[in-house]
Amino acid sequence: MRLLSAVDTMFYRMESDRTPMHIGALLTFRLPDDAGPDYVRTLYNAFAELSFLPFPFDSEVVDGLLPEWRTVRPDPEYHVRLSALPYPGSEADLGTLVARLHAHPLDMRRPLWEAHFIEGLSDGRFAMYFKAHHCAVDGMGAINTIKKWLSTEPDRYVPLSEAGPKAEVPDRNRIASVAYELWNRTTDGVSGSAELVKSLVGMIGGDNSHVGATLGTPRAPFNATLTPQRRLAVEVLELGRLKAIAKATETTVNDVSLAVCGAALRRYLDEQGELPDETLTASVPVGWERDEDTLNAAAGFVCPLATTESDPLQRLAVINASTTRGKKELLAMSPNALNHYTLMGLLPLTIGQKTGALTKIPPLFNLTVSNVVLTREPLYLGGAQLELIAPVSFLCDGYGLNITLVGYTDKVILGFVGCRDTMPHLQRLAVCSREALDELEQAAA
């Protein structure tokens, strides 16, 4: 058995019926030309063997004052499932099914993940939806896990991972190992907190301070009490277009992506007659180097999305100035200090979610916008080519919208997750993102 880290424990404690804390991914594949009628079932059966389960997918959480991972033998019939859409299944049918699967909480008494194979898609395709609790994996960790299942070679198949589970600490060493872990956390806490205090002093003042952006965050319509059900939307943008804009404006692809999101939100809320007078802000996660035992390794800064700005180039300039400073300040800290910075940010969210206070206090930011890269090469699962991977993230109470971007081959896929009742027209927001890219591209030209 091993203790959950302090950050992992925060995500574990934030779980509620209205706000399940798992993240997910929807992958669509094209069947090989020679695929038989049992092709997907064969893949499902091979995956369900669970031949090599890496930590922590081979473990359940034992709750307590200090939650612990305990190695178990997962039930393949429970964790790996086969479903089918009425043929020919459309994108809308798939989205509806995955939205319902994503709204359903994980069983916290079992290993915290599920994999769903979905047949019946039109045009010779099938899908896979995978979800895992945020205490077990973050966005970059999920991407790394998915990459282990896939191959650049069409004829190679890896059941789950080539990494075997780590040996469990024997019970006789449990007290000693827990004491050793607590001692390490204490010493890390002292040094990390001291470094963090010094860094925070420099973050507060000056232009483009993300601390200042936090204090000026308005309340958007989706910063409200959440209900359990979710809506999903997906938009695919061309990476080449984003790169060309970044080069022309001397910014980054991530800056351009944030500017597209900001413009899309401005257009969407303006159409609803609900655009705030102050700019919306986004929490932007930044990952840092992790070891194999670290499940969550990201800290975030708050970036203004310049939704009050009508000029797309000026919006991009505001975002670039904020991200340049924010990333520089975070990456100047050690991993230990960044871990404590993450804890400092999660603490009010955890307490607020458990007490119901998050919808009563001013929001710290309006939404989260994160960005990860899968690969620039085409990938395959047992000969089936991966066409698209759509990220499906989590929502906290009072924060009813999340946008996650994944780079794959020559595309950037935007995955929108919203509360069903506070974001009733989520697909329109996805359409607005493409319109925003067109607008920014014309301005940059």
Which positions are catalytic?
Answer: 134
Strand 125-133 versus strand 22-30 pairing type: antiparallel
Q: Which of 223, 244, 220, 216 is nearest to 412 (CA)?
A: 244
Give the rounded distance of the alpha carbon of 135 from its chain centre. 12
What region, left, alpha or beta, does residue 341 occupy, with left being phi > 0 and alpha being psi -120 to 50 degrees? alpha
Under DSSP, is residue 113 helix (H, G, I), strand (E, B) or coil? strand
Under DSSP, is residue 390 helix (H, G, I), strand (E, B) or coil? strand
Q: Is 375 exposed, middle or buried (0-12, 13-18, 19+ CB in 10 A)?
A: middle
Residue 24 to residue 47: CA distance in whole angstroms = 17
Structure tokens at 39: 């092709």
Give the rounded distance of the alpha carbon of 401 from its chain centre. 12
CB contact at 8 A, 296 and 7: yes
* Dihedral angle sign, alpha carbons of residues 226, 394, 288, 54: positive
Residue 289 to residue 267: CA distance in whole angstroms = 37
Structure tokens at 394: 């989590």
| Residues counted in the chain | 445
Report the b/e string of 322-353 with b at 16+ CB within 10 A: bbebbbebbeebebbbbbbbbbebbeebbebb
| Residue 17 phi, psi (nearest 5) | -65, -35
Q: Which residue has the tokens 């067109």?
A: 438
Alpha helices in 290-422 (DSSP H): 312-331, 335-355
CB contact at 8 A, 13 and 192: no
Q: Which residue has the tokens 């085409």?
A: 378
Residue 44 to residue 431: CA distance in whole angstroms = 34
Under DSSP, is residue 256 helix (H, G, I), strand (E, B) or coil? helix
Q: Which of 123, 58, 137, 56 is nearest to 94 (CA)?
A: 123
Structure tokens at 336: 């230990």
